[in-house]
Amino acid sequence: MPFKIIASQCTSCSACEPLCPNVAISEKAGSFVIEPAKCTECIGYFDEPQCVAACPVDNTCVVDTSLARYQAPA
Amino acid sequence: MNAVVGRGKCAKAAVGASKMVQAAEHKGCRTSSNSGQASCGSRAGQADLPTEIWEKVKSHPCYSEEAHHHYARMHVAVAPACNIQCNYCNRKYDCANESRPGVVSEKLTPEQAVKKALAVAATIPQMTVLGIAGPGDPLANPEKTFKTFELVAKAAPDIKLCLSTNGLSLPDYVDVIAKSKVDHVTITINMIDPEIGAKIYPWIFFNHRRYTGLDAARVLADRQLLGLEMLSERGILCKVNSVMIPHINDGHLVEVNKAVKSRGAFLHNIMPLISAPEYGTVFGLNGQRGPTAQELKALQDACEGEMNMMRHCRQCRADAVGLLGEDRSAEFTTDRVMKMDVKYDLEMRKAYQDRVEDERAAKAAASKEELGELAGAASEISLLVAVATKGSGLINEHFGHAREFQVYELSTSGTKFVGHRRVDVYCQGGDGEKDRLSTIIRGINDCHAVFVAKIGGSPKSNLIKAGIEPVDQYAHELFEKSVISWFRSYLDRVKSGEIQHVKRGDASIRQKAVISAA
Ligand code: SF4
Ligand code: SF4
Ligand code: SF4
């Protein structure tokens, strides 16, 4: 659920896309987008959200506060 | 789920890498285990090089200074992602220091890239090299990069393949590179000391996390040197690029030079930092300046005793097409290429390249003869001259049309290529004309003479006023031979007291990359 890409800042470099363990990121209309239903904040895979760690533009992959945080299955 | 296995690529831990680097064996600057003493050099003719290395470099414009007047290269921008951040790069725009066109240029799919390669090969028969250099890091885009190489090798087997990387992922891909028939790799190495690295690289992305500060620089330097060593072991020619950043890594690059030489680098290319503030890079915004022409030359000279230096690098764009210094990429936009009916004619290309080889041989013989004449003269004088050329080793460019000048150092031991000076693209009319002239004068201010095919009266008198002799009597002649002949007469004039030899000042290196393909 929670991460989103701020389209106006995305350079479409594609760095984040192959890194997402949930294949939640894809290119749409010249910018990259995260499918909220697929994003687990990388919980269960990596210590850091991969899209955030790889993105060259600070504060471009950010938590989408309009959605609930991801809950790891118990 | 299964995505993790296939998708997360970084493999080896950084710690292991540093140990292996310590075990480096001193191999000199040759990359192949050939017998006989070889001086490896960008300027060297075949005489100084083992045959199989000469075969690799003789028609490569980036590896052979001499070849760059005759052969062209093209870059295909198939690799947008990067895995590190450099303070001289703003990934929104063209990176002037590495080869990146940024958002202004088109990204290509591997299939589009091949079509483009064939289109260029058919139009420009002297195009011998296809490189992938960005706009990000080719090895951060391994699928696209290697797919492109595979398709090009199949479709146009005579084209040499090369790759430029920041080196972070290099150790993981050395074997794939070797299998892809890539025979030239360029690694950008700006430091071996993490303290210095931390001032250049804010972060790297490695092993699924972001490293910053000293940790980042340590991992990066270890991986770069390890990758270089592994490539050398496999007989792949490696060039090392370093960006010279005054007060940060300028003195340190002498250490870098030693380190890369001992790991088998064939050529070291020290490039000036480009940091115009409008690029919005960290260095551009915090006022970090680039080196002057004299500072750059002094550092290149200091490293030259250690190994051969490349001085003709143009820091070209990730989609550049043409001879170094020219950019014909606008003729080959994706739209145009996709509409072209391309015929790849290996025979025609070979015949053309054979003609180029004959021309080169004749040129070498001519300047050798002229040099013989010079041998008699004993003089301490060494000076710089600038040449306006469009290629083929001729003085064939009008002063007013030149976008860059080639600078040579002359002494009684011959000519030595020092570098090129880019001057702003022609702006027409009124004040633009004056600005342009002063830009040129600033750019070649350390030169005693400038050789041109033609020059107008007003720029001529302004040059003379600035102490630079405009020389147009060698129009359309071979420039190596011409500058030596001019130098002989210069020495005579000094000897007879007709002129006095005075030292020239410093020159400035242009701080703007060419963003749009003019
Ligand atoms: S946070 Fe992780 S799971 Fe979510 S989009 Fe980014 S990479 Fe994918
Ligand atoms: S890494 Fe950042 S800039 Fe690059 S495509 Fe992803 S969101 Fe856009
Ligand atoms: S490695 Fe190249 S593309 Fe990546 S940040 Fe550095 S200069 Fe930019």
| pLDDT of residue B441 exceeding 80 | yes
Q: How confident is the model at residue B429 (pLDDT cuts 50, 70, 90)?
A: very low
pLDDT in tens, B254-278: 999 999 999 988 888 888 888 777 7
pLDDT of residue B38: 31
Candidates B389, B370, B249; CA nearest to B326 is B389
Mutation test of ligand 1: which of A20, A26, A67 has the most ligand atoms closer than 8 Å to its C-beta?
A: A20
Classify residue A37 as exposed, middle or buried by CB count within 10 Å of its CB (0-12, 13-18, 19+): exposed
- In chain B, pLDDT over 90 holds for what percent of residues? 24
What amino acid is encoded at B454 in this protein? Answer: K
pLDDT in tens, A60-69: 999 887 877 7
Report in angstroms the alpha-carbon separations of A15 from A73, B146, B355: 28, 17, 44
CB-based contacts of B242: which residues, under 8 Å, 6+ apart? Answer: B188, B189, B190, B249, B253, B256, B257, B268, B269, B270, B271
| pLDDT of residue B166 exceeding 90 | yes
Q: Cα separation of B349 and B118, whole Å?
A: 12
The token duo for B147 is 């797919």
Residue with more model confidence, A49 or B403: A49
Ligand 1 and A5: CB distance under 6 A = no
| pLDDT of residue B219 exceeding 50 | yes
pLDDT in tens, B195-211: 999 999 999 999 999 99
How many residues make up chain B in this entry? 518
CB-based contacts of B407: which residues, under 8 Å, 6+ apart? Answer: B384, B385, B386, B387, B417, B418, B419, B420, B421, B444, B446, B447
Q: How confident is the model at residue B104 (pLDDT cuts 50, 70, 90)?
A: very low
Residue with more model confidence, B394 or B141: B141
Q: Cα separation of B319 and B106, whole Å?
A: 8
pLDDT of residue B476: 87
| Greatest mean pLDDT among B218-232, B353-367, B394-408 | B218-232
Interface residue ranges in chain A relative to chain B, Cβ cutoff 8 Å: 11-15, 17-23, 45-48, 50, 53-54, 56-57
Classify residue A9 as exposed, middle or buried by CB count within 10 Å of its CB (0-12, 13-18, 19+): middle
Q: How confident is the model at residue B70 (pLDDT cuts 50, 70, 90)?
A: low
Residue whose structure tokens are 């090089």 = B49
H or E element: which one contains B356?
helix B346-374
Residue with more model confidence, B2 or B93: B93
pLDDT of residue A8: 87
- In chain A, pLDDT over 90 holds for what percent of residues? 53
Q: Which residues of A touch B212 (CB under 8 A)?
A: none
Q: How far is A46 from chain B (nearest CA, A)?
A: 7
Residue B206's beta-bridge partner residues?
B209
Ligand 3 atom closest to Cα of B134?
3
Ligand 2 and A15: CB distance under 6 A = yes
CB-based contacts of B403: which residues, under 8 Å, 6+ apart? Answer: B325, B326, B422, B423, B425, B426, B518
pLDDT of residue B513: 42
Q: Cα separation of A33 and A46, whole Å?
A: 20
Q: How far is B448 from chain A (nearest CA, A)?
A: 45
Q: How confident is the model at residue B515 (pLDDT cuts 50, 70, 90)?
A: very low
